[in-house]
Structure 1
Amino acid sequence: MDGVTVIDHPLVQHKLTIMRKKETSTGSFRRLLREISTLLCYEVTRDLELTTARIETPLEEIDAPILEGKKLVFASILRAGNGLLEGMLELVPSARVSHIGVYRDHETLEAVEYFFKAPDSIDERLVIVVDPMLATGNSSIAAIDTLKKRGAKNIRFLCLLAAPEGIRHFREAHPDVHVYTASIDRQLNEKGYIVPGLGDAGDRMYGTK
Structure 2
Amino acid sequence: MSKHLTVVEHPLVQHKLTLMRDKGTSTASFRRLLREISLLLAYEITRDLKMTTTTIETPLREMEAPILGGKKLALVSILRAGNGLLDGVLELIPAARVGFVGLYRDPETLKPVEYYCKLPSHLEDRVTIVVDPMLATGNSSVAAIDLIKAKGATSIRFMCLLAAPEGVERMKEAHPDVPIVTAALDECLDEHAYIVPGLGDAGDRMFGTK
Give the TM-score, by structure 1 length: 0.98
The whole-number CA distance in structure 2 between the counterparts of 1:197 and 1:44 is: 22
Residue matched to 2:99: 98
The aligned counterpart of 2:159 is 158
Paired AA for residue 163 in structure 2: A
Please state whether the residue corresponding to 1:166 is helix, strand or coil: helix
Partner secondary structure for residue 46 of structure 1 = coil
Please identify runs of 4+ aligned residues in structure 1 that moved more than 2 A: none
CA distance in 2, matches of 1:184, 1:128: 19
1:202 and 1:60 map into 2 onto residues whose CA distance is 50
Structure 2 CA distance for aligned equivalents of residues 87 and 71 of structure 1: 17
CA distance in 2, matches of 1:170, 1:113: 18
Aligned residue number for residue 185 of structure 2: 184
Aligned counterparts of 2:31 and 2:107: Cα–Cα separation in 1? 24
Aligned to 1:84: 85
Opposite residue 95 of structure 2, the aligned amino acid is S
* 1:51-130 aligned within 5 A: 51-130=52-131
Name the SS for the 2:161 alignment partner. strand
List gaps (5 residues or longer) in structure 2.
none
Bigger shift: residues 97-106 or 25-34: 97-106
SS in 1 for 2:63: strand
d(CA) in 1 for partners of 2:187, 2:56:
50
Is the aligned partner of 1:9 residue 2:10? yes
Aligned partners of 2:111, 2:171: CA distance in 1, in Å?
13
* Amino acid paired to 1:30: R
Q: Give the alignment's TM-score, normalised by structure 2.
A: 0.98
SS at match of 2:12: helix
1:31 maps to which residue? 32
Alignment length, in residue pairs? 208
Determine the C-alpha separation between the residues in 2 that align with 1:126 and 1:59: 34
For structure 1, the 5+ residue unaligned runs are: none
Q: What is residue 49 of structure 2 aligned with on the other side?
A: 48
Counterpart code for 1:16: L
Instruction: Determine helix, strand or coil for the equivalent of 1:175.
Output: coil
The one-character-per-residue Cα deviations of 1:57-103 (angstroms, maximum 9, x if unpaired) are 11111100000000000100000000000000000000000100011
In angstroms, what is the RMSD of aligned CA positions? 0.7
The answer to whether residue 174 in structure 2 is matched with residue 195 in structure 1 is no
- 1:106 CA drift (Å): 1.8
Cα distance in 1 for partners of 2:32, 2:96 equals 21
Distance 1:190 1:62 in 2: 59
- Per the TM alignment, residue 178 of structure 1 is displaced from its structure 2 partner at its CA by 0.6
Structure-2 separation of matches of 1:166 and 1:118: 24
**Cα deviations by residue, 1:22-49 (Å, 9 ceiling, x for unpaired):** 0000000000000000000011000011
Partners of 2:15 and 2:107 in 1: how far apart?
Answer: 31
1:48 and 1:152 map into 2 onto residues whose CA distance is 16
Q: Tell me the amino acid that sits aligned with residue 175 of structure 1.
A: P
Cα distance in 1 between the residues matched to 2:143 and 2:81: 16
